[in-house]
Chains A and B, each alone.
Chain A
Amino acid sequence: MSETTKIVALHGGLLVLLVTLQFLLPAYHHGNLARIMVLASFAIGYNVMFGYTGLLSLGHALFFAAGMYGMGLAVQYAGAGPVVALLAGLAVSVVVALVVGLLALRTAGVGFMIVTLMFAQAGYLTILYFTTWTRGDEGLVLQQAQRTIGSLDLSQPGPRYFAALLLFAICFLVTLWMVRAPFGKVLIAIRENEERARMLGYDVFRYKLAAVVISGTLCGLSGAAYGLLFGYVGATFASVQYSIFPLLWVLLGGAGTVIGPLVGTLFMFYLIDLSSSVTSAYMLVAGVVLVLLTLFAPQGLVGELRARVWRWLP
């Protein structure tokens, strides 16, 4: 089998599996998986910057929240339908990503981490400051009528699952295509050796900026979808916690792999879910497992799989 055939089989197979699970899973896990797919899309967006371009951001909650609030405010105050609202969320996150990229990319390494963190914190405080419109911590609840496209009611489990899967498939296939295209190879080259990429004639700043915008857009789209599918838009999603989550999911699943973000998100979700059903000290259990994984699978689950078995994994 050629490399491309294997890649298509694995990634296509995964999408087919997710379609099939819709009809097989019991209600509880069905609902979980819809949520996981949206969060995994967020992680995929994060991975474009962190895993493929080598840019460690500590402020991705900003992009998730930008999409979410762009969507939510459009629904709440402009009476926009779900599709228009989704596009509004998308537009807001593109603009935010462009601005953050232009400013934050003047720094590198620790400086970049701090600047992205500060931007996200500023975004969080802005949401709290405009409590009159954003309802601050309490958040906005979107009604069923506001989440219906034609006869498709996104508050119902079936349509919600498929909408989540559609979002995931888009993010998943976009990154798969991107990292195998010349553009993605340049991002990887920048991650591996920025100076060398520059001396081959690549305008490193522009490529990094493109990575930030693509990453921010995918994360914003995920945030908008999350608000729409689960009917809630709140400031928690802009807090530092939501900047750390995608980093953890990607690290666990395997930075710089296309399926890693889904695997990491799934793993962490069920790790917390299962351990909290056993003990109230579930964060301790989760913490211990995370430490063990970082010790014994430092490249993440899929990263280790690539290093040991499937060398061809993109």
Chain B
Amino acid sequence: MSLLSTRGLSRSFSGLRAVHEVDFALPEGEIRALIGPNGAGKTTFVSLLCGRIPPSSGQVIFDGQDISALPAHRRIALGMAYTFQITSVFSRLSVYENVALAARRRVAGRAAVDRAVMRALEQAGLHDRPDQAAGDLSYGHQRLLEIAMGLAQAPRLLILDEPTQGLADSEVAAFKALIRELKATTTILLIEHNMSVVMETADRVTVLNFGEILAEGTPQQIHANAEVQAAYLGTG
């Protein structure tokens, strides 16, 4: 069964069709990569899913419920989490507090929050610096903090918008391992430019181009698809 699906989902910005009539379905437990050239509408598409921006038309269905009219915080409460493409942490708060703000939506009590925070920080590889101000972290570590905030929410659907952008090679490797580890409990929608991450983690890949779905298939199928090559690599 699909955990998430959309019907005719569209969003225009003053005439520009950023996302156009997208029918999309994501089965529970799957890791789905969403790829496409810059400006294809990937960020806009996932923003429509989690309610960050309202659609021009169309529906979003989550766990069998039409959530198109729900505000963002209600969708998050249903079990979605979204990490931002443009790093968006609380820069004057500590690393710990950033993650605690995420965890407290799910668990109550100081001890339980503490456990959830430390676990998320460990998974993201930031457990050695809980007291540092988030704004003082390197760019790569801020990306990891974004991921830790998503993890602390323990969502059913985790939407990651270009999480590996700006990470060092070793951190990318750790990220791949983390995604595979999460697979048991979490459905993941991953916007990703790094092809090695896509090939090694995704069950299936959806290609977005000019706001429409261009192709969908296994990583191997997508890799071999000439149309995708043309659009994505700009050859042709």
Smallest CB gap from A186: residue in B: B101
Q: Which of B92-100, B167-175, B178-186, B205-213 contacts A (4 or more CB under 8 A)?
A: B92-100
B93 close to A200 (CB less than 8 A): no
Q: Does B228 contact A (CB under 8 A)?
A: no
- Name the residue of chain A whose CB is nearest to the CB of B101: A189
Scoring A residues 254 to 298 as 1 if CB is less than 8 Å from chain B, else 0, what string do you get?
A: 000000000000000000000000000000000000000000000
Total interface residues on A, CB under 8 Å, equals: 17
Q: How many Å from the CB of A32 to the closest CB on chain B?
A: 35
* Closest chain A residue to B104, Cβ basis: A182
Residue among A193, A197, A199 with the highest chain B CB neighbour number at 10 A: A199
| Known contacts A192-B92, A193-B88: A200-B101 contact under CB 8 Å | yes
Contact residues in A for B90 (Cβ distance below 8 Å): 188-189, 192-193, 196
Q: Is the Cβ of A199 less than 8 Å from the Cβ of B50?
A: yes
* Chain-B contact segment, one of A62-70, A156-164, A201-209, A235-243: A201-209
Q: Is B115 an interface residue (CB 8 A)?
A: no
Type the 1/0 row for A199-239, where 1 means its CB is closer than 8 Å to any CB of B: 11111100000000000000000000000000000000000
Nearest residue (CB) in A for B90 is: A192
Chain A residues whose C-beta falls within 8 Å of the C-beta of B93 in the assembled complex: 185, 188-189, 192
A198 within 8 A of B: yes
- Residues on A with beta carbons closer than 8 Å to the beta carbon of B76: 199-201
Contact A185 B50 (CB under 8 A): no
Indicate with 1 or 0, residue by residue over B46-86, a CB within 8 angstroms of chain A CB atoms.
Answer: 00001010000000000000000001110011000010100
Chain B neighbourhood of A185, CB < 8 A: 93, 97, 100-101, 104
Within 8 A of B (CB), among A163-197: 182, 185-186, 188-189, 192-193, 195-197
Instruction: Say whether A192 contacts B72, CB under 8 Å.
Output: no
Interface code A127-160, partner B: CB below 8 Å = 1, 0 otherwise?
0000000000000000000000000000000000
A residues apposed to B, CB below 8 Å = 182, 185-186, 188-189, 192-193, 195-204
Q: Which residues of B contact A (CB under 8 A)?
A: 50, 52, 71-73, 76-77, 82, 84, 88-93, 97, 100-102, 104-105, 149, 153
| Given A196-B89, A199-B82, A199-B84, 4 extra CB contacts under 8 A | A192-B93, A196-B88, A201-B72, A202-B105
